Amino acid sequence: MRRTTLSSICFSLLASCLLWPLSGIADAVETTESEYGTELTLGAKAAIAFDPNDGKIFYEKNADEPLQIASTTKMLTMYLILEAIKEEKINWEDEIPISEHLETLSHDMNLSNVYLYQHETYTVKDLFKATEKVSANAAVIALAEKIAGSEKKFVDLMRAQLKEWGINDAYIISTSGLNNEDTLGRKYPGSKDDEENLMSVHDLAIVTYHLLNDFPEIIDFTREPVTTFGEGTLSQTELYSTNEMLPGKAFYKENVIGLKTGTTKLAGTCFVGLIEQDGRQVVTIVLNSEDMETKDNGQRFIDTSYLMDDALDNWAMATTLSQASLTGNQQRYPVHAGEADFVKLALQKELTNWQLADQDTLTDLKIKMDSQLLTNDGELKAPITKGQQIGTVTVTLDDTSAHYLFKDKKTETLPVFAAESVEKSPWYVLIGEWFSEKFNDLKMNFV
């Protein structure tokens, strides 16, 4: 991630006071339609909003085009670092030495960094905090080298992890997200001088999903606007988060607790946001909200706020299928050779799904009985016991509610049970019914 200038920070502070209610810088934004039909004014070239618990997508724009992702790359890098800690390959208190190359890189004033020195060592915890809080590039490379032996080998681990998650069109050549022009001559074999990491916003959402679900403790780091680096050492300094939506920041938004910024000339301004409100979490990702040829006016945070409000205000979990959904002939089913001609149907639980406000997402409902319980004429065979599963009900959801991060849930199925017992008719009743049926057949032949 490239460093934000002081003038840009000052402008952002002013913007938070004067421009926040507005849609942003007019020539930098594009109006797009959200999933529920209203317009969102976004500057981002690509965007997504989703629930990190089940992967429900609330909004997406240009979701599948691989774009430069800058330091949001570090979401994947931090995942593998936390995995290495979990597997005890490294520990939080391990001391890591710094190479001459990384010392030089850490002093590049055009890049996001904390100053590192060859004659000192730094704990895994401090380097991780620097990575998360200020997107320190030399710090994350030091961690990668500690784990894998070299940055190249760590990049290979990143690529392998993406393939394991089913991500095949990403292009990863660094652990930091830096452009090769900024790496002081060190680049992944075969990559070009002006290249950097590429990933679609949808695939970056998958990375974020796994980070939050496998290592929810990441939020303990990302929710804090400031942390101490090298506490109790000569290197002690305060690190202030690059996330301008945290408390005390220029674009503060209540309940935002993460996650990661990213900026390069090619990627523009990027941000992975996380908000926790009313018992829900929503992740938003915006890529290239502003061109870095101009100043950083905070458009990525404005975009993020719109996406968060859209998801929280217009989407809610609601009952899609319940007993009340069964109407008319759906409430019962014909029975053969039973003391009753029909059996009442019951659902033992409700089906809930994400729905837009005031919108019914159920487009179709079909009940199917267990074929082993049916006669050739399609009737249920008596006897039937109350509470016995006798079939299933399948509902079809509209495209908006069915859209998920991993696999769309176009249909969902629940078991159907007998709401009552139906005994088999006595043998003499069945014989009487048989003679009656035959008599009616003979009578019809003489008509």
Contacts of 318 (CB under 8 A, 6+ apart): 352, 353, 354, 355
Q: What pLDDT is recorded for position 10? A: 42
| 394-410 core/surface letters (b: 16 or more CB in 10 A; e: else) | ebebbebbbbbbeeebe
The list of the chain residues with pLDDT below 50 reads 4-27
Q: What pLDDT is recorded for position 196? A: 98
| 121-136 core/surface letters (b: 16 or more CB in 10 A; e: else) | ebbbbbbbbbbbbbbb
Q: What pLDDT is recorded for position 117? A: 95
Contact 219, 274 (CB under 8 A): yes
6-313 and 322-428 share one fold:
no
Distance between CA 91 and CA 59 in Å, rounded? 39
Q: What pLDDT is recorded for position 40? A: 84
Q: What pLDDT is recorded for position 339? A: 86
Helix, coil or strand: residue 5: coil
| DSSP code, position 374 | B
Which strand (E) or helix (H) includes residue 403? none
Q: What pLDDT is recorded for position 432? A: 55
Distance between CA 437 and CA 432 in Å, rounded? 9
Distance between CA 234 and CA 249 in Å, rounded? 28
Contact 244, 209 (CB under 8 A): no
Distance between CA 308 and CA 284 in Å, rounded? 7
Residue 34 in tokens: 């959200």
Q: What pLDDT is recorded for position 232? A: 86
- Angle (CA) 345-350-353 rounded to 5° is 135
- Given the DSSP bridges, would you call strands 121-123 and 95-97 parallel, antiparallel or unpaired? antiparallel
Q: What pLDDT is recorded for position 145? A: 98
Domain 6-313 fold: Beta-lactamase (3.40.710)
Distances (CA, A) of 335 to 71, 284, 374, 406: 65, 52, 9, 41
Reading across the β-sheet that carries 380-381, which strands appear in turn? 362-369, 389-397, 411-418, 342-346, 332-336, 380-381
Domain boundaries, the chain: 6-313, 322-428
- pLDDT tens across 410-433, in order? 888 999 999 999 988 775 555 655
* Backbone phi and psi for residue 343, each to the nearest 5 degrees, phi listed first: -120, 140
- Its CATH architecture, for the domain 322-428, is Sandwich (2.60)
pTM for the structure as a whole: 0.86
Q: What pLDDT is recorded for position 6? A: 36
